[in-house]
Amino acid sequence: MTITTVGLDADDTLWHNETIFRLTHDRFVDLLADHADRDTLEARLAETEARNLRLYGYGVKGFTLSMIETAMDLTGGEAPASVVREILAAGRDMLGHPVETLPGVDEALAALSGAYRLILVTKGDLLDQERKLAASGLGDLFAAVEIVSEKNRVSYERVFTRHGTGPEQAVMAGNSMKSDVLPALAAGAWAVHIPYAITWAHELADAPADHPRYGALTNIADLPGWVRNRT
């Protein structure tokens, strides 16, 4: 079965993202250092995020709202206004953060785009993801961009059918076992895991055991060769 289509995750696959979230976490912990220690703050923020995920979905705006809510909860409403303002500023900084592609990305995508249809498949805030793609300079290499509210079997079936020749002829590559690899395999596509240095707790999952359509790479530079060898 010939592979015609390569789906690529964006955040932490093509460019840094979790690093920027972690920096904002550090800023949040500093801001509220008088009220609770790091572990407590992190745990409460994670609880708030999980509770709000159903309403807010993924992305910076929902994360900012969850930080404000957590600050209010933790201080019993005693958080000075400067804390809220700082959190708003931190959110805006994330949305304006420069985009830095990861090592090997530019070359790998250039090599792949000559032979395969490339599709960006990502979650998060629509405008923010479009901005990052434009800022990355990679936009012209993609035949299609799909920003989805959830990455699951159904969304991969839809994306690879709409923009490619079906999941059986597509491979999905990304840093999240839970969002990029497992549901793409369930949809009948190939999948390649390329881990990032750190993974958001919400995205952790075990690797598939001995799956015929699964691959693991340490660097995206090896992706063009991996796809070519499947064809």
Closest distance to a second copy from the beta carbon of 93 (Å): 10
Provide the minimum distance between the beta carbon of 211 and a second copy in the complex, in angstroms, as a whole number: 30
CB 198 within 8 A of CB 224: no
Q: Which is nearer to a second copy, 84 or 111 (CB)?
A: 84
In this complex, which beta carbon is closest to a second copy, that of residue 2 or of residue 82?
Answer: 82
Sign of CA dihedral 203, 207, 211, 213: positive
Query: Least distance in Å: CB of 86 to a second copy?
Result: 10
By C-beta, is 179 or 227 nearer to a second copy? Answer: 179
Listed in sequence order, the residues at least 6 apart from 84 whose beta carbon sits closer than 8 Å to its beta carbon are 68, 71
Query: Using CB under 8 A as the criterion, which residues of the chain lie in contact with a second copy when the complex forms?
Result: 52, 55-57, 61-62, 64-65, 68-69, 72, 75-82, 84-85, 88, 91-92, 95-96, 125-128, 130, 147-149
d(CA 31, CA 178): 32
Closest approach, Cβ 10 to a second copy, in A, equals 14
Residue 178 CB, shortest distance to a second copy, in Å, is 18
Q: How far apart are CA 28 and CA 145, in angstroms?
A: 32
Nearer to a second copy, 15 or 190 (CB): 15
7-45: burial string, b at 16+ Cβ within 10 Å, e else: bbbbbbbbbbbbebbeebbebbbebbeeebeeeebbebb
Judged by beta carbon, residue 74 or residue 109, the one nearer a second copy is 74
Dist CA 173 CA 121 (whole Å): 10
